[in-house]
A and B are shown apart, each in its own frame.
Chain A
C-alpha cells in the first residue's frame, strides 16, 4: 500500500507520498501516503476529523499541500492543477445542488462547464440519471429531492466528464439500504470501466464488499503496512458455530488448528474458499454438528475497531 521506488508511476492513477497540510496551528494531515491503481477501489477509513476530507481536497486539486508529492493520472497538482481537476470526478461530502434547476439541467450545465457540447452533455446527463435511478426526476427541480436522491445526483454530477479518477467522500451517507447496495454495484462498475476509485466512508460493512484495498487514517497519518496486515488477517477469520461448542473445540484441538473459542463455537483463520470448503467437510466428517460457518464479518470494521482500541 505504500509507494515503493520501483512501482511504475504511470500505472497508479493516484500516487501520494508524504503529504502534509496545516490550517494555522492545526495539523489536519500530517503524513499521508497511498496509491490507487486504475480499475481498483480503495477505501479511505478513519474516525471523524482524522483528515480524510482534507486529503481528498488536496487530491482533487482544490487545496495546496504544504509538502509531499501528489500525482493524479500522471499530473502534478502544483504545476498542472487544471489537468488534475479535469481527470477527477469528485463527489464532495457536502451536498450542494442548484435548487431551482432540474436534475437534467444541473447535469447538462455541469457538462457544459467541462466544455462538452450541450446536446452531448444533455444526452450524457440523461444516461447518468438512468444509471443512478433518478430518471423520473429529470425534469423536476433539485429541491424536491430527498437527501439520498441528492447524494445520487451528486454522484452523477461527478461523472459528467467521464473522469479516470473518482474521489467519493462519504457517498453512502444518508442512503437507504437498497441504495447502498446499488451504490456498491455502481462503484464496482466504475472500477470495471477502468476508473480508479478512492472512497471514504463510515459504513464499513458496505465498504468491505466494495473495495480492493483499504487505507486507514488516524490523526492525520495514513497507517501503512500494519493496518494492511491487520485487514488481510481479518479477512482470513471464519466463525464456526456448532450445536455443541465443546465438541467443536475438541475437534479443532485434536486437529491442531489454531482457534479462538467463543460462547457458541470458535473463530479460526482459513486462507481461501477452497480451504474453507475442505475445512467444513473435515469438521462434518468429525461428527461436529456445524450450524453456522462463514467469514467473521467486516474485515475493515474489525481492523478499525482494533485500531481504535490500540489508540486508547
Chain B
C-alpha cells in the first residue's frame, strides 16, 4: 500500500482544511450550527427584487396608516387601536411563518439540498432549530415593519411598557410555536401542499376549533330547572273584571279589585343553567385567548383614575373569559317566584311602602350587578394553561422534527428518497 506516501499530494491550488474530528452521532443543537443553519435559510429564502418592491409597497401602506392615525387621533386614551395592531402582528405572523416552515423540510428534501447538510457537521438539532428561527425571524420582520404604528398607538393606549413587552412576547411565542408545528408537518408529510394545509388546519383548530369545542362541551354541563309562577288567568276574566284590572295596573291602585273575580293559574316553565366553569379551561388553551390574558386588567370603575383607557378589545375578551370561568350567577334555589295574584292582592294592602322598597330592591340589584362586573373584570389573569399547551406543542413539534432529521434513517417517509 502506498497510502501514506500519496496522502498529501495536494495540487498547488488546493487549500488545506482541518475540520474537527467527530464521533458518535450527536443530535443536540449547538450555537454555531443553529446560527449557521438560520443564516443559510435566511439567505436562500431572501426575496427577489420584485419581493422587495412588494414589501416596500406594504411598508408604505403601513406608514400611510400611521400618518392618517396621527391626524385623526381621538383626544382621550383608547387602547383598541393598539390592540388591533397587536392582532395584526399576530395574524401576519401566524400566516407567514408557518407557511414558510411548512415547506422547509420536505421542500429541501425534494430539491435535494437537505441530505448534503445532514452529511455535514450540522446536527439534526442544528437544522431543526436553525430552520425554526429563520422562519420565525420573518414574522419578527413583520413586527418591525409594523412597529411605527405599534409605538404610536401604544402611546395613546394606557398600557405600560412592561405590559406591552409581555403581550408582544406572548405573541412571538405563539408564532414560534405554530412555526414549529409547520416544521413538524413538513417533516412528516412528503408533499408541500399537504404540510402547508395541515399546518394551517392545526392553527385553525387551536384558534377557532377550541372555541367550537368549548361551545359544544358546555352542553354537557347544563342543568335543567323548572320554575313555577302564578298568573291571573286572563282567559277566564269577565270583561268588567278585565277592565278593572287594566285600570288598576294603569293607576297603581289595586284596592278596588275583588279577589273573588280573579282566578289564578300555575304556570311551569323549564330553564337551563350552563356551568361554563367546568369547561372554561378549553377556552384558556386557545392561544389567542392566552395572549389576551397577558394584557393588563382594566377596572371598569376606576380606569380613569388608573390612567387607563376605557376597557377595549382585550379587556372585553378578558371579561367574557372570566364570566365563563366563574360560571352562572344565579343559583337554582335563589330564584324568586313570581306570583301575580299575591302581588296584586297583598300589595293592595301595603301599597304605601312599595316605592321605597322597590328603589331599595333595584339598588341592591344594581349593586349586585356592579359587584359581578367588578369580579369579572378584575379576575386574575389566567394565561398559564394556554402557555402550558403552547409550550408543550412547541417542544413536541421540535421533538418530531429532530427525530425525523436524524440520520442514518431507519425508515423513510413513504414516497420519498433520501436525497
Contact = CB atoms under 8 A, between A and B. Distances in A.
Contacts of B26: 82
A101 interface: yes
A65 B97 CA distance: 37
B15 A123 contact: yes
A24 to B, nearest CB: 8
B419 A105 contact: no
Interface in B336-350: none
Contact of B39 (A37, A88, A109): A109
A4 interface: no
Interface residues of A, number: 58
B23 A80 contact: yes
B24 interface: yes
A131 interface: yes
A124 interface: yes
Contact of A193 (B9, B22, B119, B407): B9
A57 B25 contact: no
B113 interface: yes
Nearest to B111: A96
A92 B3 contact: no
Interface residues of B, number: 53
B419 A92 contact: yes
A99 interface: yes
B23 A82 contact: yes
A113 B418 contact: no
Nearest to B32: A115
Given A82-B24, A100-B43, A105-B43, A113 B122 contact: yes
B20 interface: yes
A246 interface: no
A94 B156 CA distance: 57
Given A82-B23, A94-B417, A100 B44 contact: yes
Interface in A55-78: 57-58, 60-64, 77-78
A63 B409 contact: yes
Interface string A228-254: 000000000000000000000000000
Interface in B101-132: 108, 111-122
A162 B391 CA distance: 42
Contact of A114 (B2, B23, B121): B121
Given A82-B26, A98-B44, A100-B46, A194 B11 contact: no
A52 interface: no
Contact of B120 (A23, A97, A110, A189): A110
A181 B37 CA distance: 36
A215 to B, nearest CB: 20
Given A61-B407, A82-B24, A86-B121, A124 B17 contact: yes
Nearest to B10: A193
Nearest to B37: A113
Interface string A80-121: 111101101010111111111100010001111111100011
A83 B121 contact: no
Contacts of A23: 412
A57 B409 CA distance: 10
B6 A110 contact: no
Contact of B44 (A80, A99, A116): A99
B36 interface: yes
B357 interface: no
A113 B25 CA distance: 16
B410 to A, nearest CB: 5
B130 to A, nearest CB: 10
Interface string A21-61: 00100000000000001110000000000000000011011
B407 A160 contact: no
B13 interface: yes
Interface in A149-187: 157, 160-162
Contacts of A105: 43
14 contacts: A39-B3, A57-B419, A62-B119, A62-B408, A63-B408, A78-B408, A90-B119, A94-B112, A98-B44, A100-B43, A101-B43, A109-B43, A123-B15, A131-B11
Shortest 7 CB-CB distances between A and B: which pairs? A96-B112, A113-B120, A94-B112, A92-B419, A96-B113, A194-B7, A64-B408
Given A86-B121, A193-B8, 20 more contacts: A38-B3, A57-B418, A64-B409, A82-B121, A85-B22, A85-B120, A96-B111, A96-B112, A109-B36, A114-B17, A114-B120, A114-B121, A115-B19, A126-B15, A127-B13, A127-B14, A131-B11, A131-B14, A161-B19, A189-B11
